């Protein structure tokens, strides 16, 4: 399924968590490539990635 991500053998009971993790990873990759194409600095990318992670966590917990 997701070869090369270290998640080749997800636990069937945890498939929802696996899908959620994969989606977040794809979202972060998309945001990073979008910002890199616009010459954002790496520290800006790290800040925005952390901001997005915090948002996803808050969204998940509420």
For residues 46 and 4, which has the higher predicted lDDT (pLDDT)?
Answer: 46
Domain for residue 16, yes or no? no
* Residues contacting 49, CB < 8 A, separation 6+: 28, 31, 32
26-36: pLDDT as tens digits: 887 887 777 67
Could you list the residue range(s) of the whole structural domain that residue 50 is in? 38-62
Q: Which one, of 15, 34, 33, lies nearest residue 23 by Cα?
A: 15
Domain count, the chain: 1
Domain for residue 29, yes or no? no
For residues 53 and 8, which has the higher predicted lDDT (pLDDT)?
Answer: 53
What does pTM read for this prediction? Answer: 0.34
Domain for residue 60, yes or no? yes
Domain for residue 12, yes or no? no
42-57: pLDDT as tens digits: 666 677 777 777 666 5
Q: Which pLDDT belongs to residue 26?
A: 80
Average pLDDT of the chain, as a whole number: 67
């Amino acid at each position: 399924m997701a070869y090369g991500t270290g998640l080749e053998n997800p636990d069937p009971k945890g498939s929802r968590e696996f899908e959620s993790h994969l989606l977040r990873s794809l979202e972060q990759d998309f945001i990073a490539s979008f910002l890199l194409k616009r010459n954002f600095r790496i520290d800006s990318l790290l800040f925005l990635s952390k901001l997005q992670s915090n948002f996803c966590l808050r969204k998940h917990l509420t």
